[in-house]
Amino acid sequence: MHEIADILLDWSKTIDRDLPWKQTDDPYFIWLSEIILQQTRVAQGTPYYLKFIELFPTVQHLAAATQEELYKAWEGLGYYSRARNLHASAKIIADEFYGKFPSTYDDILQLKGVGPYTAAAIASFAFGEDKAVLDGNVFRVLSRLFDIDTDILSSQGKKEFQLIVNELLPRGESAEFNQAIMDFGALYCVGKTPDCMFCPLQQHCLAYKNGSVHERPVKKKSGKKRHRYFHYFVLGLPQNGDNDTYYLVEKREDKDIWAGLYQFPMIENQNKLKHISKIECKDAFDISIIKEPELIYETEQTLSHQIIHARFYQAELSNTHSIVSDNNNNNNTSDYKLLTEQNLKALGFPRVIRKFLDDFLLTE
CB of 133 to ligand SF4, least distance (A): 17
Tell me the C-alpha distance between 276 and 270, whole Å.
Answer: 12
For 107-164, give the DSSP string: HHTTSTT--HHHHHHHHHHHH--------HHHHHHHHHHTT--S-TTSHHHHHHHHHH
Q: How far is the CB of 199 from ligand SF4 (least distance, A)?
A: 3
**8 A C-beta contact, residue 345 and residue 223:** no
| Three-class SS state of 355 | helix
Task: Based on the residue annotation, tell me whether 253 is a catalytic residue of this protein.
Answer: no
**Least distance from ligand SF4 to the Cβ atom of residue 137, Å:** 11
Query: What is the smallest separation between the CB atom of 201 and ligand SF4, expressed in angstroms?
Result: 4
Separation between Cα atoms, residue 51 and residue 39, nearest integer Å: 18
Closer by beta carbon to ligand SF4, 8 or else 308: 8
Task: Give 3-state DSSP helix, strand, coil % of the chain, rounded to 5.
Answer: 45, 15, 40
Binding site for ligand SF4 (CB under 6 A): 144-145, 188-189, 194-196, 199, 201-202, 205, 207-208, 213
- Point out the catalytic residue in the list 3, 34, 176, 341: 34
Name the amino acid, one letter, at 148: I
Rounded Cα–Cα distance for residues 145 and 201 (Å): 8
Distance CA 231, CA 248 (A): 14
> Judged by CB, which is closer to ligand SF4: 164, or 352?
164
- Give the nearer residue to ligand SF4 in terms of CB position, either 13 or 255: 13
Which of these, 223, 246, 207, lies nearest to 324 by C-alpha position? 246
Under 8 Å between Cβ of 85 and 68: no
For ligand SF4, which is the closer residue by CB, 121 or 189?
A: 189
Q: Which is nearer to ligand SF4, 206 or 266 (by Cβ)?
A: 206
Which C-beta is closer to ligand SF4: that of 189 or that of 287? 189
What is the 8-class DSSP label of residue 211?
T
| Burial of 302 from C-beta contacts in 10 A (0-12 / 13-18 / 19+) | exposed
Task: Quote the least distance from Cβ 211 to ligand SF4, whole Å.
Answer: 11
Active site residues: 34
